[in-house]
Structure 1
């Protein structure tokens, strides 16, 4: 279980609701039979792997009337609903079909659509509807850090506008929608900004080690190739899904010299490396990162040999989380095929990601700027203040 900072205590009652045993068309697909037969487990493959603050106000009678009206208008999710003209999950899945669009950005686009589709008559109703939609998206995959962080940042950003600033509700709603669309555009351009900021650190003749297929890291390397920089890349294979092989193919199309490594050859080849570039599924309060399994050990090897480790991560992946060790991570499970039958008595580690502490990282390239790990907590305070 995640240990969250003392400054952000979540209401736990939602986590105590009974889980439905009825499968949904929007639920992540179950574990494949070949893996499930050999390694029975009550857990399913996480949707994360499949895809990759309350305000304290003065309570007035008008406020209570709006709140009661909103609750009556939007009943609890457990109550039967006769008609659902708009589904935030369907909207989210529509945006997710775009290969270049990150999962968190797809959620941001879906939440903006909630504002457009809302027929609420007060800011209270609109905020409650947005909160329910955000909670629905976060519950769709509780293991996705970027999805949760993106929804939280969206809610914090767009609800800063108060209805009291405007003459009528329509003006307030238009301002909220404008903020939502602006936030979506900023998030969508994050990779381009990161790629531009990182170019001064890639020099002619350098060798870069990458791990897995991070779209933002690929954007960094693609921009460097387009700028006619001469460099080569060492790609780990990224088993079991061979994401490193996919990245190597894309880099080869750009005529970038690439060497493919087996994952266990990282230490063997580290003396050839000038820098390590990795992506992140989440950047936590300590300045550490959560990323594809194997990132931690690569960072340890690079640190021991005085090689800089750079992280490329969009600001919507900044999460108010504080893991202390690997066991604090909620497992994001994946299927693993060893090519041979695994005996039933043999346990298989199927987690898809690990946690790299900040002392093994050099710099983080973000759309907020180039940061040291120690600055991340300050940036989180600004993002959520």
Structure 2
């Protein structure tokens, strides 16, 4: 079984995730489920064993794209665990149905989360944002639909400047936006009533893995007594950490930080470009999910309820 059995849509989606053409945990999870559905629908496997092998190959191809994006394996886990049947056609139908169910739940989860997160915001609040998160945007959208006026301070979030996406979407919601460079966050935290950030993943002890710079912002926010709220669907909970597995931090290309021309001018230096950092639970006030809001130390109970004591890896079976 090899790459020739993987549907072209899977390869295309995997490449788009790796290149960050598809970004954001919910968007990645949705695309992953869609890719598995297309793999299942387009498979011409002759036997159930061959079909399941192809589906696992496709899952592993997708899994290799972003090692820290926990929404991706959670999406794969959901679809593969619901792929059942004695014949190829039964397996195909259950895989496609599982992917559809997952994508439908994804839609309602973000709406529910947004309503819960909006309850933390009052009319006239100023919110400071880091990076871009569709879960965070759902909270702001819900607050605006409730008629609340919100002002925004947006960190540009280098090196890829995802803050520009946040700024654009906030303006579309009628929010007044001030864009700042990352290093200016400490100066503006005194003007903010809340810091809202998303999460790439949340570990069993309530630590938050998010875009590099989150920890630094959270530590400074705590010193300034500005509450920091993490908006994260249960899709972002990392069940592998229940058994003590450590989080792998993705290192991205140095070209995002330094051009070839600058490198030639500066000389022989090492460039490191970690995509994420880990914020300990003591710096986080609340984690807002579609299941309610939790102090970070309580997230382990929700994780056990959702996943049991440890998560299976169905792409390896």
CA displacement at 1:104 relative to structure 2: 1.9
2:53 matched to 1:133?
no
| SS of the residue 1:301 aligns to | helix
User: Of the candidates 28, 31, 36, which is equivalent to residue 111 of structure 1?
Assistant: 36
1:28 aligns with none
What does 1:66-85 align with in structure 2 at a 5 Å threshold?
Answer: 75=1, 77=2, 84=5
2:238 matched to 1:332?
no
- Bigger share in helix: 2
Contact 1:95 1:109 survives alignment (8 Å): no
| SS of the residue 1:209 aligns to | strand
Q: Deviations over 1:66-89 (max 9, x none)?
A: xxxxxxxxx3x38xx5xx483352
CA 98–369 in structure 1, closer or farther in 2 if over 3 Å, else same: same
Q: Deviations over 1:14-33 (max 9, x none)?
A: xxxxxxxxxxxxxxxxxxxx
| SS of the residue 1:311 aligns to | strand
2:312 aligns with none
CA 85–379 in structure 1, closer or farther in 2 if over 3 Å, else same: closer
TM-score for the superposition, normalised by structure 2: 0.80
2:307 aligns with 384
1:223 aligns with 142
What does 1:306-345 align with in structure 2 at a 5 Å threshold?
Answer: 306-322=225-241, 329-333=249-253, 335-337=256-258, 343-345=266-268
CA 327–115 in structure 1, closer or farther in 2 if over 3 Å, else same: closer
1:201 aligns with 120
Contact 1:278 1:312 survives alignment (8 Å): yes
CA displacement at 1:229 relative to structure 2: 0.4
What does 1:139-218 align with in structure 2 at a 5 Å threshold?
Answer: 139-156=64-81, 158-159=82-83, 161=84, 170-171=89-90, 173-218=92-137
Q: Deviations over 1:21-50 (max 9, x none)?
A: xxxxxxxxxxxxxxxxxxxxxxxxxxxxxx
Higher mean alpha-carbon deviation, 121-130 vs 267-276, is at: 121-130
CA displacement at 1:99 relative to structure 2: 8.2
TM-score for the superposition, normalised by structure 1: 0.67
1:351 aligns with 274
Q: What is the rounded CA distance, in whole Å, between the counterparts of 1:87 and 1:104 in structure 2?
A: 18
Q: Which runs of 5+ in 2 are unaligned?
A: 309-317
Q: What is the rounded CA distance, in whole Å, between the counterparts of 1:238 and 1:270 in structure 2?
A: 15
CA 350–207 in structure 1, closer or farther in 2 if over 3 Å, else same: same
Contact 2:250 2:275 survives alignment (8 Å): no
Contact 2:79 2:98 survives alignment (8 Å): no
Q: What is the rounded CA distance, in whole Å, between the counterparts of 2:291 and 2:53 in structure 1?
A: 30
CA 170–154 in structure 1, closer or farther in 2 if over 3 Å, else same: closer
CA displacement at 1:210 relative to structure 2: 0.7
| SS of the residue 2:221 aligns to | helix
CA 235–103 in structure 1, closer or farther in 2 if over 3 Å, else same: same
1:289 aligns with 208
Contact 2:249 2:275 survives alignment (8 Å): no
| SS of the residue 2:148 aligns to | coil
Q: What is the rounded CA distance, in whole Å, between the counterparts of 1:377 and 1:154 in structure 2?
A: 23
Q: Which runs of 5+ in 1 are unaligned?
A: 1-74
Q: What is the rounded CA distance, in whole Å, between the counterparts of 1:170 and 1:347 in structure 2?
A: 53
CA displacement at 1:155 relative to structure 2: 2.5
2:296 matched to 1:362?
no
Q: What is the rounded CA distance, in whole Å, between the counterparts of 1:175 and 1:357 in structure 2?
A: 39
